[in-house]
Structure 1
Amino acid sequence: MKKLSEMTDEERYGKVGAEIRRLDPEAYKNRTDKSAEANLALLKRLRGAIELQGLSPRAVNVLGRHGIRTRKDATGRDVLALTYGERNCGAKTRSEIKRWLDANDFPPAPADTHHVAMVREANAPKIGAEP
């Protein structure tokens, strides 16, 4: 039998425990329910939080009100249609959510950058337009 100091995290804490410790060591230490089901639920919450990390707090709240924590939760649902009647969800937040849904594991650009690009495009001189 190996000493604890010689064991890998996976050998010592199991696959789920090692993954939780990798994502958030404090969450692993401070958990109150140490059952396998609770560990899986904690891991799912941590993975969802990591995936939503690039979004603004407003966009995260809008998605959370509809139970969407990951892109997988959003598949098969018309997320943008759900957000139209939502308070505090304007065109800027919807465009940020759309970029998040379309992204392939890349965090979306900050919403301000997108807004600035839209303003620049609107104010740019049109090619071929008469002065």
Structure 2
Amino acid sequence: MPALAQSADGPAIKREFLFEVPGYKTQNQGGQTMNMYFHYRYNSGIAEADIPNYEDLRSHALKFMDAVDPTKNPYWETLNQELCTQLKDGFPIEAITCQLLVYPDNRPGLPYEPGYHGSIHTIGDIEPLAILSRPPP
């Protein structure tokens, strides 16, 4: 089944997937906890056998984040752009939106960061994510 097909009596059909990586702990920016969200559309005409297992994208995202050098303290926007671009270029997807949603915190010795905050990066023709959620109990 193609990722994008024109039905004889209706609009184009799009095949998309969404997944979350909840409660990821990073050493970046003094040690933060965040949720990562990924929503993507498969390439038009993709064969069923070529659809990637989302766990491969998830593993790539975790390896990317695990390799971040906390001494460089990169902005969330920079990390998100690099990660989202790698996923888009490395898998058969035509559009992707990635969101890093960092939890609020009150870490001793560091500036208080009130409220959820983060970065949304979108490549291609897909609605950007805008998810706000509470951390798990």
Shorter-chain TM range is under 0.3
Work out which structure has the larger RCO, using CA pairs closer than 8 Å and 6 or more positions apart in sequence. Answer: 2
Relative to its length, the structure with more helix (as a share) is 1
With normalisation by structure 1, the TM-score equals 0.25
TM-score, length of structure 2 as denominator length: 0.24
Bigger radius of gyration: 1
